[in-house]
């Protein structure tokens, strides 16, 4: 995950007719509804933990562990990724980051998750994709699709962004969406992208708020490459700065489902 350049807010856009999978013809090809028992880790057939605390390229402050204290199913149909203020392996916080790398990867389709984010200065929840070629070509040449990032100090606004060669970090390309009322902390929302050859469309609750194509970026690296999913809750970093005394810990990113659809008929 990388810090992003926020673009013009689209809060003034009212709701439109849904354009999600029920309306446009999709087949469900992957689903995780986190129905495990209380305290169970996420399904190891789907998810792997990224473990470490070296800043993750963004000067993040947390150590991401594989402990159930930080990532667990709650027995109520939700995955929780929990950031804790504690000294651990030289870091002041712990949290979790899980990925489907090498286990669940798709080149095209609709990637979506139902998520409720935490609020608070220094909290940085995200749902995103990386190209499966990352070990061969590195980042950002592999391509990155940030489906949802929220700054904890502005929980009514989320961002969707593309990173690639010539448009990464602060030079990334994307847009932000602000809820007409309320915040993303107050309830679950569905964050999704639809990736087809030659374009990527970004949605919040089936509202299409941006569509990007090859002409919008320096190099289109998003076709013909399998992509894996990542869920994480970062603490601090260059995107938003550190927590302060007002930030409440533990803080949890809650995920009710993750699904992938492919277009019916290919």
Where in the chain are the domains? Answer: 21-263
Question: What is the pLDDT averaged over residues 86-106?
Answer: 98
250 pLDDT above the threshold of 50: yes
Cβ atoms 204, 113 nearer than 8 A? no
Catalytic residue among 85, 144, 248, 262: 144
7 pLDDT above the threshold of 70: no
* CB-based burial label for 255 (10 Å; 0-12, 13-18, 19+): buried
Three-state DSSP at 37 gives coil
6 pLDDT above the threshold of 80: no
d(CA 144, CA 221): 9
266 pLDDT above the threshold of 70: no
Q: Chain-wide mean pLDDT for the chain?
A: 92
265 pLDDT above the threshold of 50: yes
Catalytic site residue 136?
Answer: no
Looking at residue 24, its pLDDT comes to 61
Residue among 148, 126, 135, 72 at smallest CA distance from 102: 135
What percent of the chain has a predicted confidence (pLDDT) above 70? 91
Cβ atoms 119, 125 nearer than 8 A? no
Confidence tier at 10 by pLDDT (50, 70, 90): very low
Catalytic residue among 149, 185, 186, 194: 149
Phi-psi region of 57 (alpha: psi -120 to 50; beta: other; left: phi over 0): left
CATH code matching the domain that covers 21-263, chosen among 3.50.30.30, 2.60.120.200, 3.40.50.300, 3.40.1590.10: 2.60.120.200
To the question of pTM greater than 0.85 for the whole model, the response is: yes
16 pLDDT above the threshold of 70: no
Catalytic site residue 40?
Answer: no
Looking at residue 203, its pLDDT comes to 97
Q: What are φ and ψ of residue 77, in 5° steps?
A: 80, 30
């Amino acid at each position: 995950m990388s810090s992003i350049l926020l673009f013009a807010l689209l809060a003034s856009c009212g709701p439109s007719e849904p354009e999600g999978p029920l309306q446009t013809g999709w087949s469900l090809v992957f689903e995780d509804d986190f129905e495990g028992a209380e305290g169970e880790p996420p399904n190891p057939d789907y998810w792997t933990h990224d473990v470490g605390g070296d800043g993750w390229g963004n000067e993040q402050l947390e150590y991401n562990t594989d402990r159930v204290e930080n990532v667990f199913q709650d027995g109520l149909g939700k995955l929780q990724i929990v950031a804790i203020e504690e000294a651990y392996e030289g870091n002041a916080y712990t949290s979790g980051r899980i990925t489907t790398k090498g286990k669940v990867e798709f080149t095209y389709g609709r990637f979506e998750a139902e998520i409720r984010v935490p609020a608070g200065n220094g909290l940085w929840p995200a749902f995103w994709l990386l190209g499966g070629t990352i070990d061969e070509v590195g980042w950002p040449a592999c391509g990155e699709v940030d489906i949802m990032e929220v700054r904890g100090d502005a929980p009514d606004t989320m961002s969707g962004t593309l990173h690639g060669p010539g448009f990464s970090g602060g030079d990334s390309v994307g847009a932000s969406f602000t809820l007409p009322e309320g915040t993303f902390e107050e309830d679950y929302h569905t964050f999704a992208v639809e990736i087809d050859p030659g374009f990527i469309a970004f949605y919040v609750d089936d509202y299409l708020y941006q569509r990007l194509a090859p002409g919008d970026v320096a190099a289109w690296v998003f076709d013909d490459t399998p992509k894996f999913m990542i869920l994480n809750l970062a603490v601090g970093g260059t995107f938003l700065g550190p927590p302060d005394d007002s930030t409440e810990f533990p803080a949890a990113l809650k995920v009710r489902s993750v699904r992938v659809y492919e277009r019916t008929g290919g």
